[in-house]
Amino acid sequence: MIVPFLDLKKQTSSIRYEIDMAVKRVIDSASFIQGKEVVELEDKFSKLVGVPYTVSVGNGTDALFIALKSLGIGQGDEVITAANSFIATSEAITATGAKVVFADVCPDSYNINPDDVERKISNKTKVLVPVHLYGQMAEMDRVLKIAEDNKLFVVEDAAQAHLSRYKGRNGAWKNAGSFGNMAIFSFYPGKNLGAFGDAGAIVTDDIELANKAKMFANHGRLSKFKHEFEGFNSRMDSIQAAVLNVKINYLSQWNEERKQVALKYFDCLKNVVEIKLPKVNENCDPVWHLFVIQAEKRNELQSFLKNSGISTGIHYPVALPNLPAYKYLKHKPGDFPVASLLATQILSLPLFPEMTNQQIEYVCSNIKKFYTEVV
């Protein structure tokens, strides 16, 4: 059996007619940049997340860069983020002129460790950027309390957490993106809500920050030729918005189907002592962008699964502070023991809404076979 890591063709085929008609409308209108489809998407996404303002941009990396610039972050500032994430998070921070400061992560949820965040705060720290990794939210109560105590901004990196929820101190469930001063999302094709190319968004409940972000993304202007400052060019294409306007209607259903796949993995793999399953915080309702296990003999397991027709991934094979790109920070792997260890053990199993029970069982049976017959 062949089990892909992700099957975007299968997802697209189920809504192909709607997609084709949406794209056709854009082509017929010849309004290819920030057309009415973009306005519609921004309105839909604001209602979905539960925030009043959405600013569409070219991609998730731009979204974080623009959010930080809108908060006035630049040279001489420090921004704290997680050591276990994709480089887009940290490079967006550095691109503003600020210094990226890494905090280690929790061994079970893989998200940023609030205790290490507190240790890394200095008088130059201006922003905390928790990453809601793999579809599970960071400990936002702790993050917000730290930010409040130290008068810091919070920008949520929710690129992997569309409609993930967290139960706050008041007992109410809120969506990822509705906790910080600002939050960013990616609509990269492989995300839970993905476009047919690059696209992203910034959300906030502050109209001034929303307008500032919108100006940064559109050459420093809100109206044509009235440039109040030098901005950038990060505008969402109307075709990408049209695709997202179709797919957004299925997001809740797809997230529920992802959850069912995750539950089957939990049940099927619970007795495999050589692997460690992800732990879900009791205050979190994850959307399972990825299902990431920790595995003994990870590389050998991955090779065995590949030979059995099963595609897997490693997110991420090197902790950010240990990358050559951050050699100048002079970190050692021991400075981030959890993130450095995870890089040698984590393995992302196939997970997508259309995954069949037979495919799940095949993945699980081969994992069991590896540890009982091969190792």
Please state, in angstroms and rounded to a whole number, the distance separating the CA atoms of residues 364 and 266.
Answer: 10
Within 8 A by CB and 6+ apart from 159, the residues are 60, 86, 88, 131, 184, 185, 186, 188, 191, 200
pLDDT at 170: 84
Domains and CATH numbers, the chain: 8-103+110-249 (3.40.640.10), 251-374 (3.90.1150.10)
CB atoms within 10 A of CB 37: 26
pLDDT at 224: 85
Helix axes 238-247, 16-29, angle to 10 degrees: 150
pLDDT at 223: 83
- Sign of CA pseudo-dihedral 155, 81, 216, 200: negative
pLDDT at 18: 98
Which neighbouring-strand residues pair with 275? 295
Q: Cα 354 to the chain's mean position, in Å?
A: 20
Within 8 A by CB and 6+ apart from 271, the residues are none
> How high is the mean pLDDT in each 10-residue block of the chain (375 residues)?
97 97 97 94 98 98 98 98 98 98 96 98 98 98 98 98 93 96 98 98 98 97 90 96 98 98 98 97 96 98 98 98 98 97 98 98 98 91
pLDDT at 323: 98
Residue in 283, 291, 319 with CA at minimum distance from that of residue 104: 319
Which neighbouring-strand residues pair with 79? 100, 127
Q: Is 312 helix (H, G, I), strand (E, B) or coil?
A: coil
Please state, in angstroms and rounded to a whole number, the distance separating the CA atoms of residues 133 and 315.
Answer: 10
Helices (H), the chain: 8-14, 16-29, 36-49, 60-70, 87-95, 114-120, 140-150, 207-217, 238-247, 251-269, 298-307, 337-345, 357-369
| Amino acid identity, position 144 | L
pLDDT at 21: 98
Q: Indicate yes or no: pTM above 0.75.
A: yes
Helix axes 36-49, 16-29, angle to 10 degrees: 130
pLDDT at 169: 80
Please give the order of strands across the beta sheet that includes 200-204. Answer: 53-57, 200-204, 182-186, 153-157, 125-129, 78-82, 99-103
